[in-house]
Amino acid sequence: MVSKRAFDLVMAAVLLIAFAPVLGLAALVVRLSLGSPVFFKQVRPGLHERPFTLIKFRTMKEGYDAAGRPLDDHERITRIGRRFRASSVDELPELWNVLKGDMSLVGPRPLLMEYLTLYSPVQARRHTVRPGLTGWAQVHGRNAVSWEDKFELDVWYVEHRSFLLDLKIIWLTVWVVITSRGVAQPGHVTAEPFRGRTG
């Protein structure tokens, strides 16, 4: 049986090399349009809820209202940022997270640290595997599915994961990215915030 970690290592290294020109061009575009820093870094929960620093390309500009509060995401995201998100170019730096072992190519997407206390015991099972660059929920609607459905899909993956399933998800991800399906929920840049247990 092929080791999932070995597969992740080889594929992440190959993809980083293959996408090097895209990564370089994207970094230049972000630098020219948004300035420095080029990367967006945020602490997310990984395997067994251990925190790690996720790295992505920036897609939003800094912006504050008259009271000094950050503007909503839809007011800060740039035209280039929307294109990056639709094509998932902003996610490519996460291949470095895969190479480091913070993430896997396939698994539940890493969400926010503040969500950890909001999960039900069943939902929390999504953290018994490494978070993924793509996952079962991503190929079944991405950000357009409800939180309840997303967590059900994540837990289903945890319970049924296999090398062949991972290959299927990777193949389906290519189609999802090409068609830009489910990039955002209506009225949101990506998805509405998770408020608490949905089931």
184 in a structural domain:
no
187 in a structural domain:
no
161 in a structural domain:
yes
- pLDDT, tens digit (0-9, with 9 covering 90-100), for 153-166: 999 999 999 999 99
Range from 64-78, 80-94, 131-145, 168-182 carrying the lowest mean pLDDT: 64-78
pTM: 0.86
Q: What is the four-CA torsion angle of 28, 34, 35, 40, rounded to 10 degrees?
A: -80
197 in a structural domain:
no
Over residues 58-65, the mean pLDDT reads 74
How many independent structural domains does the chain possess? 1
37 in a structural domain:
yes
- pLDDT, tens digit (0-9, with 9 covering 90-100), for 122-156: 999 999 999 999 999 999 887 778 899 999 999 99
Residue-level pLDDT at 71: 61
User: How do 104-106 and 51-57 pair as beta strands?
Assistant: unpaired
Query: What residues pair up with 45 in beta bridges, in sequence order?
Result: 51
Element (H, E) at 94: helix 94-100
Cα angle 106, 111, 65 (rounded to 5 degrees) comes to 140
129 in a structural domain:
yes
63: containing domain? 4-179
194 in a structural domain:
no
Percent of the chain with pLDDT over 70: 84
73 in a structural domain:
yes
Cα angle 64, 65, 66 (rounded to 5 degrees) comes to 125
